[in-house]
Each structure stands twice: as C-alpha cells, then as structure tokens.
A and B are shown apart, each in its own frame.
Chain A
C-alpha cells in the first residue's frame, strides 16, 4: 500500500523534475544576456492562433517577464504617480495569477512619460526573484511570494535618481546581485548580498545618466557600460579589472559572443573588443560605424550580429569582421530588444505592438510572420519551453504553437 508520505515524496520529485526540465529565462535578455533560447521550438509563421493566453496586468511596465519552472514573474507600476509597485506570479500554462505582491515606492517616481517605474527587468537565481524599480526600490521575494528583504536605495542615497527614469536591469554573477544606478547626480554600481540585500561593495561611477544594464562576461566578471566606455569589475569584490575608454552608448547594452571571448559594444556604431589576459586595455577586433543600434540592444546568433537601427531596419553583419550582409526594414519603431530561437529573431514594435518573426537562416533576412497585438509594446520578450512571453502596459501574452 502506498503511504501518504510516499505520495507526497513522489509529487515533490515530480514537481522538482518539472522545474528542472524547463528552460528558464531568468533575467533581461535571458540567462546569459544574449537573448537566445537554444532549445525552444517557438512558432515562426505567426498568427492569432499562436496566442495561447492573454492576461490583464495591474499596471504599466517596460520590464520583461522572467520564467522559472512553470511560473512567469513580472513587475508593474500603477496609480497616477506610478508609486504602486507590483510583482506578479502567473502560471505559465494557463496565465492564472498565482500571487501578487504590492509595495509603495520609497523613492521618486518621476520619469519621462514614455517609460515608467517598472522599467528594469527582475532577475532570479532560481530560488528568489530580485525586482528593481526606477524608484530604486529593490525587493527580494521567494518564488512563493514570501518577502526575504527590501532595499530603498533612494532612501539610502537620496540623490541616486534620474528625472527621466532609470531602466538598468540587475543581474546575478558569482553569487552577487549587481545593480547599476547611474544618473547625473549620485551614480554608482553595487554588489548586493543575495541573502540580506546589504552592500558587499559600492563603486562610484561617472555622473551621467545611463540606462544600460550590466553584462555577465564570465563566471566572475561583469561589464559595466557607460558614456565613457566599458569597465570590467569583479562581481564578488567590485575591483576594476580593465577598462575600455572610447565611449559607449547609454541606451542599448552590449552583448557577448557565445564563448564570452568578444564583447560587442554599442560604441562608434559597434566596436568588438577582446579582453586581454593581463587586463590591459582590450584589443579592438573591429569597429563598424554603420552598425549603429537605436534603442534596442544588439544580438548575436550563429555567425552574425544583428542590429536594429533608429529607422527600424534590421542589419545583419558578420560577427568576426563586422562585414555587413543584409538589411531588412521592419515595422517599427522599437524600444525593446530582439530575442532569438528556432532560427528566427523576434521583436515587437512600439506602435500597435506588431510582434514579428524574422527568418535568419537564408542569405537574406525574411519576415516570416507577424501578429498585431494592438497595444504599445516597449519591452523585450522572454522565451522558455517553446513559448514566447511579451508584455505591454496592459497585458501579458503567451505566444506558442497550438497544441
């Protein structure tokens, strides 16, 4: 006879295996910030039939969803002054809200009308989620919504704010939460203790507004992008390892090659740099001024780098040389960044939320399909378990192949 304990144990194992077998999407542009899902068989010939579900959201947001096991987590901000912060957990399969937590913004909520307080994407280590807002509230919850810790970074550092809004998404490297709070006044990047939210280190940065996100270079190091260029720091200690000082964009973020050997920086168009083992100034592998990204961050898929410029044109170039290959005008403009799986690039336009799939397998890029979601979309999609998750200010969609 099977005892209750054995049944519970079986259910637990089943539950864990469900979580473990999934391909999670743990942060802005995926687990390695490259915007790629290698395993997912996402839909390509898009139509309304691919909308698996759509759920209303309690507030605005530019943040991407993140996916852990069978749950999707998302932040939002609401009320007239954007002072109500939300963390939402929805069931990945059916979109049902499992839990929601609300908080009061403890820092200033002013931002440009296009953006909002829920601009940074949350990050997870698979155990907890860490949600940062433009008000500089940093909140850690476990996957069941239990509060683990809170930081009011603007309470601690009253001038750490940007009147246009902050947008940098935190990341986790070497067991440290990296937050980049760069603005014209009190600018810094900090390594935060995952357990209690305390500062492990805090590094002063150039007083200049910056909306880029930190990038994981390898298991130990992080690239911090700013107007002066790239600074590589040790995630654990905050010690500066090397710098690239030829300037960089303050909106689109860099991307690394699959082996993390090359960093593609939005600087004078795109500059591909190769860090040196002795930590001297990185080698410039190539530089192409015609590859100038707009708001979207670049993406590397296979042998190519793809960039969407201000005019909404997708540019493909060889990642090893910067040689330009083809251009394809998309239905833009774009604020979110492209992601990729199944041999396609996915991106949603601001106006009307036209979600587009571009086939990048051939000699030229080809628009394979699109769905007009009918709402302004400013965020970057997430991909997990053969599905794409994308949000507007009003809704979260799951897009997948019909069962």
Chain B
C-alpha cells in the first residue's frame, strides 16, 4: 500500500484535485457499501442460502482495507449468527493484514473494542489476538487483568498464568501461598480442563474444594423408571412423566411399577446415575425431575453431559433431544439456551439405556448444570449444601430441591 506522502510524487496536481473531489463525493458511498456488504453477510440463511451474495460482499469488504471497514466488521460480529461470524472474521483477518502500515492506530481502535466487555466474547478474543500479533509485549501485560473476563478464552490465559505461579510456589515449598494462588485461579476458572487440575492441586495441599457448587451441577433429583426401551423405541415413546409431574403417582413400568424416588449425586462432577436406584438395567428409560429457584427472570445456558439417548424439558417446554448411545460423555457436551423464570423452574430429563452389553456401555447417567453464556455457574436460590454421603444417609426422605 502506498501512503499519500509517497504517492503525491507520482500524481500531477490536476489529477490530485480530481482524486480529492472523488474522495469527498465517494467516501460516504464507500461507507454505505461497507454497510450493505455487512448486511448481506448478516442475512445469510440456513443450508447455504445467501452464500453467493455473501461471497461478493466478502470481496467488497476486503477491497476496502481501512480502519473504518475493520471496525464496522467487528461491530457486526456482535449481532452475527455463528456462520455469519465466520464470514466476518475471515474478512476482518484479511483487512487487518492489509492495514499493517497503520499498526498503532489499528491497535488503539481494536483496543477500544477489546476493552468493551459488551462486545462479542469471541470477537473480543479475536481483537486481542490481532493486538498480540502487532505488540506481544502489550498483550502479555494485559493478560493478568483478564481473570474474570466474560470471554472464556481470554480468561483462560490469565488462569494459566496463575496455575504456573502456583506450581512455582509449590515447588519452593510455599504451601499456603500456593493454596492462595490456586484458590484465586479456581474462583475464576470455568473450563473443566482447568478446574480439574486446580482442584487436584488444592486437594493435594489439603484444601477443600466444592466442585459441584463451583460448576453449579444440579445434585438432587427425583427419578422414575424403568420404562421400556426395547429396540430403542422408548426414545420416541411418550411415557406419563412427559405429560404430568406428580411425585406421588405410580405408573406401569417395564417390568415393575414405576414410582418416583429421591436421588442425590455424590459425584464431584454431578453425575446422576440411574443404575443406583433402578439396578443395572438394559433397554430401559428413566426420567429425572428437579426444581430450580431463580432469583430473577433471565437467559441462561443448560449444559449437559450424557452418553445415553436423552431429552430435556424446562418448564414443560421441550428443549432438545438426541438419540446417540455410548459414544462419549464430557462436562458441557451439549449447550442449550433457556429462559429462566423468576421463582420456580421445572427441569425434566429423559435418559434411555440401550441393549449393548459391553463393559463401556454400563453407564446410564447424566450431569447437568445451569450457567451463564461464559460458563459461570448460576446457583439456585434454594440450592442446598452439596450432598455428602454419610450425612445424606441420615437425611429424611422429604422432597429435595436442587
């Protein structure tokens, strides 16, 4: 790119005048063009609809490698869907690359976008990475301040630094200092692959960690079953709990009467195991029900880990279902947007066990938590202390809430 300072040596005065006149008249059009191109990309639909128009719009965007275009693209990422975000991201990547001669200014503008936590988490992380490309030292200075950032990826970097620091203190024999640093890291950690090692480090040093509360796993449920799942037909079949929740009711089950029973999880990662109340059954369906008191009406994410076929309802509304068996389970495997009501919210989980008999198909369980978009736990106002096995055996059998 030729800057104006060098370019004027090659442009006669008359031509320069024409260029200035064109620029004055054309710049608003260019800005308008950027806006139109972005709107075209934002308008893409499912199954490839709008891709041809988006491709042209993408070319138009990258052909305007200026800061205004770059920041317009970043601004649009705040409202873009997942696929449109990728169109915009790659356009921004090319535009930024062509801005290299203007690095400082671009850092300042991108920096403002990055610092504003109202902007898209992923786009802020992208802005940070572009800043880091140009000035790694500044980026390194910024990282420790990202400990409670809404962007999980930004937060992760800051937590990694603390983990490193904690390890170093531990190696120096400064146990209490290490515990303090690990605690600080854990308070901000939201991803399982950081929480787990932090928890292990703290336990190793004799400190207690309440993992279910940290994640916000729902630990107390009512379960009912077994219903029939021969030939995997139970996934689609509607059993009584899908029509009514009456914890006193009894229904005809697969081989015995099905009654609601209270179950608690003692698992640090909140696994609710149907094999415990029902036995090691195959080709069976079970349901789990709980109530979640929310202090306000708000959006939230329901995050599930499950290796059985499952369905979920919140406040009677079907959220999602999936008929896959024994292919893998992990924390936050499925993320679903939900709307919590102020006060009582009901959650019903259906989990189906299939016919497989291999050792790795014994599991008939799920783990469920409610959190915000970043993954920070949202705790129910009626949440009780995390169940502890010995104490729980002495509990009364009155209905429990999560």
Instruction: List chain A positions with a Cβ less than 8 A from chain B.
Output: 79-81, 101-104, 106, 108, 110-112, 137, 139, 145-152, 155-156, 158-159, 162-164, 183-185, 192-193, 195-199, 207, 209
Contacts and interface: CB of A to CB of B under 8 A. Distances in A.
Contact of B153 (A79, A101, A111): A79
A150 B328 contact: no
B193 interface: yes
Interface string B43-84: 000111101101100110010000000000000000001110
Given A108-B334, A149-B48, A163-B333, A184 B325 contact: yes
B355 to A, nearest CB: 13
B283 to A, nearest CB: 16
A206 to B, nearest CB: 13
25 contacts: A80-B191, A80-B193, A102-B90, A103-B89, A103-B90, A106-B83, A108-B334, A110-B330, A112-B328, A146-B58, A146-B59, A146-B62, A147-B90, A147-B91, A149-B48, A150-B87, A151-B47, A151-B51, A152-B83, A155-B46, A163-B307, A163-B333, A164-B327, A184-B324, A195-B52
B391 to A, nearest CB: 34
B52 A196 contact: yes
Contact of B82 (A110, A146, A152, A207): A152
A145 B328 CA distance: 35
A184 B321 CA distance: 13
Interface of B: 46-49, 51-52, 54-55, 58-59, 62, 81-83, 85-87, 89-91, 93-94, 122, 153, 156, 191, 193-194, 307, 320, 322-325, 327-330, 333-334
Contacts of A147: 55, 58, 87, 90-91
B48 A151 contact: yes
Interface secondary structure of B, over-half rule: helix
Nearest to B160: A80
A185 B47 CA distance: 19
Contacts of A149: 48, 51-52, 54-55
Nearest to A164: B327
B82 A106 contact: yes
A156 B46 contact: yes
A149 B333 CA distance: 28
A148 B54 CA distance: 8
A129 B59 CA distance: 17
Nearest to B123: A104
A383 B323 CA distance: 40
Main secondary structure of the interface of A (DSSP, over half): loop
Nearest to B335: A108
Contacts of B59: 146
A207 B323 contact: yes
B51 A104 contact: no
Contacts of A103: 86, 89-90
Contacts of A185: 322-324
Contacts of B322: 159, 185
Nearest to B334: A108
A150 B47 contact: no
A110 B191 contact: no
Contacts of B83: 106, 150-152, 155
Looking at A152, A155, A198, the one whose CB has the most chain B CB atoms below 10 A away is A152
Contact of B327 (A146, A158, A163, A198): A163
B82 A163 contact: no
Contacts of A102: 89-90, 93
Contacts of A156: 46-47
A207 B86 CA distance: 30
B252 to A, nearest CB: 28
B324 A162 contact: yes
Given A147-B90, A199-B48, A162 B327 contact: yes
B328 A158 contact: no
Contacts of B85: 104
Contacts of B329: 163
Given A79-B153, A104-B82, A185-B322, A150 B51 contact: yes
Contacts of B51: 148-151, 196-198
A101 B307 contact: no
Given A102-B93, A108-B334, A149-B55, A163 B87 contact: no
Nearest 10 pairs of A and B residues by beta carbon: A163-B328, A198-B48, A163-B327, A149-B51, A106-B82, A197-B48, A184-B324, A152-B83, A196-B51, A103-B86
A196 B320 CA distance: 30
A198 B49 contact: yes
B91 A155 contact: no
Contacts of B82: 104, 106, 152, 155
Contacts of A155: 46, 81-83
A151 B156 CA distance: 29
A110 B335 CA distance: 12
Given A146-B59, A148-B55, 6 more contacts: A101-B90, A104-B85, A147-B91, A150-B83, A151-B48, A155-B81
A187 to B, nearest CB: 11
Interface centre among B85, B90, B323, B330 (most CB of A within 10 A): B90
Contact of A80 (B58, B93, B156, B327): B156
A26 B290 CA distance: 53
Nearest to B330: A110
Contacts of B194: 80
Contacts of B52: 149, 195-196
A176 to B, nearest CB: 14
Contacts of B156: 80
Nearest to A197: B48
Contact of B48 (A137, A164, A196): A196
A110 B47 contact: no
Nearest to B306: A163
A209 B327 contact: yes
A108 B329 CA distance: 12
A261 B87 CA distance: 43
Nearest to B305: A110
A146 B60 CA distance: 12
A104 B122 contact: yes
A252 B288 CA distance: 40
A333 to B, nearest CB: 20
A164 B307 CA distance: 11
B328 A110 contact: yes
A169 to B, nearest CB: 20
Given A101-B93, A152-B83, A155-B82, A184 B328 contact: no
A104 B81 CA distance: 11
B163 to A, nearest CB: 13
Contact of A163 (B93, B323, B324): B324
A356 B67 CA distance: 51
A164 B324 CA distance: 11
Contacts of B323: 159, 184-185, 207
A108 B320 contact: no
A134 to B, nearest CB: 12
A148 to B, nearest CB: 5
Nearest to A111: B328
A139 B323 CA distance: 27
B191 A81 contact: yes
